[in-house]
Chains A and B, each alone.
Chain A
Amino acid sequence: MPPMLKKSLIYWAILSPLVVVILFPFAVMFVTAVRPRDELFVYPPRWGFSEFRWDNFAEMWVKTNFGEALFNSLYVSVLSTALALVLSIPAAYALSRYRFPGKGAYRTFLLMTQMMSPIVLVLGLFRLMVALGMVNNLNSLVLTYAAFNMAFTIWMLQSYFSTIPRDLEEAAWIDGASHFTSLVRIFLPLAVPAMAVTAIFSFINGWNEFVLALTMIRSSDDFTLPVQIYSQVAGRYQVEWHHVMAGTVLATVPVAIVFSWLQKYLIRGMALGAVK
């Protein structure tokens, strides 16, 4: 057996228990989402069902105002990620390249901002947003997510940036390029994988965040996806599980696509390969 095949089989064998456990809830979700409503509570519960009710998805889309919630989630996730990156990249660059007073304190402060869970801070955050007149405004989420994500994005970016050798930039400086040009022309392209990975983190945090969205956004037109889906379940006398699961399946798809597109940035040696 060729070594690559043997290795692949061994690896898949090791990974398989985890893969099964990971895929199990998705299978449950999918199977519940496509079955007819009166088969939700059959006993004993079974994986099989009589027909693929793709209608469930369409019904759910209309009933739960899914399209709008999807757009809201995209808006918040993309903008908060962009904001976090714009603010973090210079900060991470400064941390990894320069020396300045208060550097240690700054890093500690960043770490401290991560320690407070939004749930704990929700009353105070709400009061802040009321004072700013931004309640029920998606931008309140953009600002808040960016602020909470920043410690992490700066930390991640800085770790990656520190692995990019200075020699390249210094060579450019010697050749007469300005700091700014070398930053843009030489450093940034090498930093793309790092930025891509950091962008994923930030995007997902925004996409899945729940407590703050629930508190800040009042009218159901402006709900983000997690809140919209949760509202189908929470406290109702009768939960339409087939719709709930359909909604969750659809909410997962964009993220899965983003994953498969961006996972290639984690290939070993890509950062170094460019260097060589």
Chain B
Amino acid sequence: MTPAKRTTLAASALTLGVMASAAFAETTVDFTVAEYSSKTGPFFEEVAAAFEKENPDIDINIEVVPWDTLLQRLTTDIAGGAAPDISIIGTRWLLDFAEQGIAEPVDDYLTPEFKSTFIDTFMAPSVIDGKIMGLPVAASARAMLVNMDLFEQAGAKPPETWDELYDAAQKISTLPDSYGFGLQGKEIETDAYFYYSLWTHGGDILNADGTSGLAAPEAIEAATLYKKMVDEGLTQPSPTNYSREDLFNLFKQGKVGMVFTFPMLIPQIQEEAPDLNYQVMPFPEKAAKATYGVTDTLMVFADSDAKEEAWKFIEFAYKDEWRTKFDHGEGFLPVTKNVAAEDYYKTDKDIAGFAAGLPYAKFAPTIANWEEIADVTVRALQRVYLGQETPEEALTAAAAEINKIRGK
């Protein structure tokens, strides 16, 4: 069959298909769901099925995409003109989507009551230029997890300041096969692991004038401390071989005294290492209290031809019953006030430990080209951990590169 014939055949098939669906007067909403765990897909299918029962003329088509390939998938879809109607995205990408005209502002769809159900701290990162470009769909704040058994064995006390952390790490590292402080040096969020220290040392990712804060003395101090701990054997060896998952696995094995992590680790520990004696604590301080708030956004596509229907589905999916199920199941912090008011978030001491950091949570800055900037930071940190450059050299170079990317 010649290509011409094939195209004609495809075109006729497509036309028939469109006519057929028109005959049923059904609107399809394409929803790209980022996969957090094996529960994510089934959960949204359940929401979709319940919604379709109440709205038989709307069909929700769910596509579950693994996080690692989500940005690639969305890029390809948009480039190919086949973007979905709504999608979960990392809020760190939102500015890029907004600037390119891909994201649809939702202020007009949002009723005041619906808007008031969201916790402001989590809504804020999705607001760009005064317009709400998406709804928070998942959130976490970070905290420190300590292995109480190791602390007891080493005769150390869970630290509240960085100096105390250094001392505790020294003591724990003398125990056989144990490492005081877990340090992540590979792949996604290697930079975030550094920001935890950067913020609590009083520094910031961006200065007030928008230039990179990586060359500031606080940043260099934080990186120098990390490098010192690596050199003195207070961390697991070769941090550049440890991705986030590897580090948490090591903690689950009971080999690490202190690690920075997210609430989603707790259900993992309960299933895979039920005997681990852990405790949730805030990040150690030097000059400030801080934690890292991360949100993911549910975004509507500007080119969508089913916005009304998609919004109807969104309102349905944000009902308390669904939000509760989602947040509990995945281990997230609630983004809506009603769910946050549940007893669970006060009585469950683990979740409460993470939620306690919210008042002073810092978020990744909403700027363009975040992925590229994060990559520069990660590379610089890796060079520091590998001993290829001093913290000052690496961070100053990184700051210069970032300023160039930002056009400053």
Contact = CB atoms under 8 A, between A and B. Distances in A.
Do A and B touch each other in the complex, judged by CB within 8 A? yes
Contacts of A21: none
B10 A237 contact: no
A42 B253 contact: yes
Interface stretch (B33-41, B117-125, B360-368, B398-406): B33-41
B387 interface: no
B37 A237 contact: yes
A123 B76 contact: yes
B63 A132 contact: no
Contacts of A231: 35, 64-66
B34 to A, nearest CB: 8
Interface residues of B, number: 49
A123 B255 CA distance: 44
Contact of B37 (A43, A215, A220, A236): A236
Interface stretch (B216-224, B271-279, B340-348, B376-384): B271-279
A238 B70 contact: no
Contact of A240 (B38, B75, B264): B38
Contacts of B63: 218-220
A41 interface: yes
Contacts of A233: 66
Contacts of B35: 231, 234-236
A35 to B, nearest CB: 12
Contacts of B73: 214-215
Interface in A214-243: 214-215, 218-220, 230-240
A42 B254 CA distance: 9
B252 interface: yes
Given A122-B76, A134-B10, A220-B41, A43 B255 contact: yes
Contacts of B72: 215
Contact of B264 (A42, A126, A238): A238
A95 to B, nearest CB: 22
Contacts of A238: 37, 264, 267-268
B66 A37 contact: no
Nearest to B75: A123
B67 A235 contact: yes
Contact of A214 (B13, B34, B69, B274): B69
B359 interface: no
B10 A234 contact: no
A53 to B, nearest CB: 14
A58 to B, nearest CB: 15
Contact of A43 (B79, B254, B274): B254
A234 B271 contact: no
14 contacts: A43-B254, A122-B76, A126-B76, A133-B11, A135-B82, A214-B69, A220-B64, A231-B35, A233-B66, A234-B68, A235-B67, A235-B69, A236-B66, A237-B262
Interface of A: 37-38, 40-43, 63, 122-123, 126-127, 129-135, 214-215, 218-220, 230-240
Closest 7 CB pairs of A and B: A235-B67, A234-B66, A235-B68, A234-B68, A43-B253, A133-B14, A126-B80
Interface of B: 6-7, 10-11, 13-14, 34-38, 41, 61-70, 72-73, 75-77, 79-82, 177, 245, 249, 252-255, 262, 264-265, 267-268, 271-274, 330-331
